[in-house]
Amino acid sequence: MPSKKLKEFLDANNVKYVSVQHSSAYTAQEIAASAHIPGKDLAKTVIVKIDGKMAMAVLPASYKVSFDNLKDALGGKDVRLAYEQEFVDKFPDCEVGAMPPFGNIYNLDVYVAEVLTENEEIAFNACTHTELIKMPFKDFEMLVKPIRFKFAVQSKA
């Protein structure tokens, strides 16, 4: 079941979504395979630190963050992947690594990869390693109001 915080937020905004159960999986590509969803349709949430401030980078599972692109686009001096111990307490209702891309309900800025905006629908972790939520991208964008730009590059693996 999605976290109470996420479910209440979606329900309060009258958003249509579907919850999808899948076998336990931890990497974005494993999750996509387990749930029978193309990697380009699964939005993974990567927690980054930009000049000391935490933020969410949201991109397709089959892509990776280009920290150089992120740094250039945001004009940051120090842009890096956040360490787990730096953000684990920000998501008390989520299993580590299963955060949904709703930084707005966790007081984090959200950056979405331009390539993800081409999808009609996205799926993402629902705070557990065994459940996803699928919803229209336009609804996600309306609720989260992420900043969109090109910072994702296709993974070779």
pLDDT digits (tens, 9 = 90+) for 62-104: 899 999 999 999 998 999 999 999 998 999 999 988 999 999 9
Going from N- to C-terminal start, the domains of the chain cover: 4-154
Assess whether pLDDT exceeds 90 at residue 134. Answer: yes
H helices of 13-153, in order, are 28-34, 67-74, 84-87, 137-144
Residue 33's pLDDT is 74
Residue 2's pLDDT is 59
Which of the two residues, 63 and 21, has the higher pLDDT score? 63
Homologous superfamily of 4-154? YbaK/aminoacyl-tRNA synthetase-associated domain (3.90.960.10)
Ramachandran quadrant class, 69 (left: phi over 0; alpha: psi -120 to 50; beta: rest): alpha
pLDDT digits (tens, 9 = 90+) for 22-60: 778 777 777 777 777 877 888 999 999 999 999 999 999
Q: For residue 54, which phi and psi values (nearest 5 degrees)?
A: -75, 145
